[in-house]
């Protein structure tokens, strides 16, 4: 989501990525500013939160903590965890389940992409570190002279 117009007094230009912390609906940073919030260019100006979606998101957040197997990597939410959670809150409805499932699909795939980017960045950083400098010219490690606390015999 991006801003569709420019607001010079707020330092926002057209096409800039929308940030929740700049929105008066998510933050109180504009209460002390003379200029007020940039609602005239905000993509959320006419947006009203849907209570059903808000309910599903809150329950997905709880499931994100409790309904996931965590081992060597992160796994998707388990179906039995979703089912048990919805029964606990007396909300075991197909619409709620499907909405939770859609949220999980989107956010889990986003997390996987971010994790892959992070791993690729670390790999490139590691390769750059191993290929840099004069150590590449030596066939074996060069011993270093270290200070010794023992008295030298002469």
Indicate if 117 and 79 belong to the same structural domain. yes
Residue 37 lies in a domain: yes
Indicate if 4 and 71 belong to the same structural domain. no
| pLDDT for res 6 | 77
Residue 53 has pLDDT above 80, yes or no: yes
Residue 81 lies in a domain: yes
Domain count, the chain: 2
Residue 6 lies in a domain: yes
Task: Say if pTM beats, i.e. exceeds, 0.75.
Answer: no
Indicate if 102 and 71 belong to the same structural domain. yes
Average pLDDT over residues 118-146: 73
Task: Determine the straight-line distance between the first and last CA of the chain, rounded to whole angstroms.
Answer: 76
Indicate if 74 and 100 belong to the same structural domain. yes
Taking the C-alpha atoms of residue 27 and residue 20, their distance in angstroms, rounded to an integer, is: 8
| pLDDT for res 9 | 72
The tens digit of pLDDT for each residue in 102-121 reads 999 988 988 899 999 999 99
| pLDDT for res 120 | 94
Please tell me which residue, 103 or 33, carries the higher pLDDT value.
Answer: 103
Residue 76 has pLDDT above 70, yes or no: yes
Confidence of residue 74 (pLDDT cuts 50, 70, 90): confident
Tokens of 34: 């003379």
Q: Which residue range forms the structural domain that includes residue 31? A: 1-48
Boundary-marking domain end, from 48, 72, 87 = 48
Residue 154 lies in a domain: no
Indicate if 38 and 70 belong to the same structural domain. no
Residue 147 lies in a domain: no
Residue 112 lies in a domain: yes
């Amino acid at each position: 989501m991006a801003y569709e117009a420019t607001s010079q007094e707020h330092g926002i230009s057209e096409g800039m990525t929308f940030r929740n912390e700049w929105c008066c609906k998510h933050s109180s940073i504009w209460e002390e500013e003379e200029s007020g919030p940039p609602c005239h260019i905000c993509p959320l100006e006419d947006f009203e939160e849907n209570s059903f979606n808000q309910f599903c998101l809150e329950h997905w957040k709880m499931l994100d903590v409790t309904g996931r197997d965590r081992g060597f990597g992160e796994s998707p939410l388990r179906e039995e965890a979703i089912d048990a959670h919805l029964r606990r809150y007396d909300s075991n409805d197909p619409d709620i389940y499907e909405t939770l499932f859609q949220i999980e699909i989107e956010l889990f795939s986003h997390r996987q992409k971010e994790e892959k980017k992070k791993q690729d960045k670390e790999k490139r950083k590691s390769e750059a570190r191993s290929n840099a400098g004069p150590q590449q010219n030596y066939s074996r490690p060069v011993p270093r002279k270290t200070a010794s606390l023992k008295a030298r015999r002469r």
